[in-house]
Amino acid sequence: MSDNPVASSFYERPNVEKSVIQVGPGVPVGMEGVYSSRLGIGGAYGSWGESYNNESLPSFLAQRNGSSFEADDILNLAELGFNYRQHVPKLTKAESLQLELEVGSRLLKKTLEVCGWKASEIEGVLIGMTGPISLDYIRQISKMAGIPEDALKVSVHKACDGSMGALHLALNPNLSQAGQLNIADHLRGKKVLVGGIEGLSRITCNTTDKNALQLFGNGMGAIGVIPGRTMRFLAGKSYETYDEEGLLAVKMEYPHPGLKADASLLDVTRDSENGIRVAGLMNEPKNGEAVEMAGLMGMVKLFVRTGVQVVEDVYREYRSLMERMGNSGKSISMGIVHHANYKINALKAKHLSKLGIEFPMPWLLSDFGNVSAASNIIAFLRNLPKLNLGDHVLFDGFGAGTYYDVMAVSMGE
C-alpha cells in the first residue's frame, strides 16, 4: 500500500477554485474538478471551513468546543495519514443549513460543468451522508442546481459507507428488495450523479470525544456516471452487522424504527414520489452526544476483520467471473478504500496480502482528515487520470453501524 503524504492545505492546490460563502463570519470553500475523456467520467470534490494543520488543530478545537487538550490527548495524526482538516466555527442551525445547502448545490453544479452535462439531463442523484442537516437535503440541493423534480433522489445514511452504498445501489441490480424500486435497473444507461457530502465539523461541534474531534473534518465529492456504460458492475457484496459494543457510536439524525424482525439494519423509505431514504441503524452514544469512539484500537477491531472478509468474498467472486469469461489474466488495477485512517488501511492490505490478494490501495487524503462518506469519491477522483478504458477497480466502503459495500467495476463497457 503506497503512501502519498500531502504537506500543504487542500486550498493551496493549484487547480482548486476558492471562494467565501457569506454565512456567519464567512466560510471559505474550495473545489477541484477532474475529468477523464478516455472514460467519459468526471466530477468534483472539495471542502469548506478554515484549514487547520496538526499543530494548530488542538487550540482551535479547545476554543470552539470548550475543552482543553492535554499532551496525552493529542493523536499522532501524521502517523494516521492526516496533516490537515477543514472546520467551521459554531453556527446556528439556520446558518448551518444555509451553508450546507450552498455547499451541496455548488458541488452538483460543478460536477455537471466538469462532465459537460445539462442539469435537465440528470435522472438520478444519490448522496451518502452520515448526519443530514435536513431530511430533504438532496431534494433541496438538486433543485438549487436545476436538476428536474422527477429525477430520482436517494439519500444513504450508512455513516462512512454512505457514498459506496449509493454507488452500489446505482450499479448492482441484485441489491433490490421485493416490492421496492430496483434502482440499478431504473438508472441503467442514464446520467446519474453519485457522491458523499459530509459536514462533520458541524457534527463534532456536539461531542467531547477528543479522538473524534481530531480525526474528522468536512469533505464532499460527486461523480457523473452512466451505469452500465461508463461504469459497469462486475461483482459485489453489501454486508451489515450490528455494532453491539458501540465501538463507534453515532447519533442518528434521521428517523429509524430500530431493530426489525427481519434482522436488517436498514430502513428503506419512499418518502416522496421520487425520493428514497436508506437509513442505517446506529449504536448511538449513551451520553447523548453526536459521536463516541472506543479508541483507535476499537476502530481496528470494528473494521479490519470483517472488512477483510468482505473484500475477500468479492475478490473471489470477481476472479471466478473472470475465469468464466475466459479472461483469467485480468486483474484489479486499483483499490479505492475508505480513508478511516492509514493504519487501518495498511493493516487491511497486510491481511489481504496473506490471502494472496494484492492490488494498489493508495493513500490520498492527507489534506482532508477522515471525511467519512466523501473519502472514497475524493480518492477515486484523484486517481481518475491514471485509469484507462477497461480497467477494473475495486471500491471498498465501510462505516459505523456497521456497514460494508465492496464492488468490482469495469471502467467503460
pLDDT of residue 299: 84
pLDDT of residue 9: 95
pLDDT of residue 5: 52
Q: What is the 3-state secondary structure (H, E, C) of the chain?
A: CCECCCCCCHHHCCCCEEEEECCCCCEEEEEEEEEECCCCEEEEEEEECEEEECCCHHHHHHHHHCCCCCHHHCCCCCCCCCCEEEECCCCCHHHHHHHHHHHHHHHHHHHHHHHCCCHHHEEEEEEECCCCCCCCHHHHHHHHCCCCCCCEEEEEEECECHHHHHHHHHHCHHHCCCCCCCHHHHHCCCEEEEEEEECHHHHHCCCCCHHHHHHECCEEEEEEECECCCEEEEEEEEEECCCCCCCEEECCCCCCCCCCCCCCCEEEEEEECCEEEEEECCCCCCCCCCEEECCHHHHHHHHHHHHHHHHHHHHHHHHHHHHHCCCCCCCEEEEEECCCCHHHHHHHHHHHHHCCCCCCCCECCCCCCECHHHHHHHHHHHHHHHCCCCCEEEEEEEECCCEEEEEEEEECC
pLDDT of residue 115: 98
pLDDT of residue 182: 96
pLDDT of residue 186: 97
Tens place of pLDDT per residue across the chain (413 aa): 554 555 689 999 999 999 999 999 999 999 999 999 999 999 999 999 999 999 999 999 999 998 889 999 999 999 999 999 999 999 999 999 999 999 999 999 999 999 999 999 999 999 999 999 999 999 999 999 999 999 999 999 999 999 999 999 999 999 988 778 999 999 999 999 999 999 999 999 999 999 999 999 999 999 999 999 999 999 999 999 999 999 999 999 999 998 776 678 999 999 888 999 999 999 999 999 999 998 888 888 889 999 999 999 999 999 999 999 999 999 999 999 999 999 999 999 999 999 999 999 999 999 999 999 999 999 999 999 999 999 999 999 999 999 999 999 999 86
Q: Which CATH superfamily is domain 10-411 in?
A: Thiolase/Chalcone synthase (3.40.47.10)
Per-domain residue ranges for the chain? 10-411
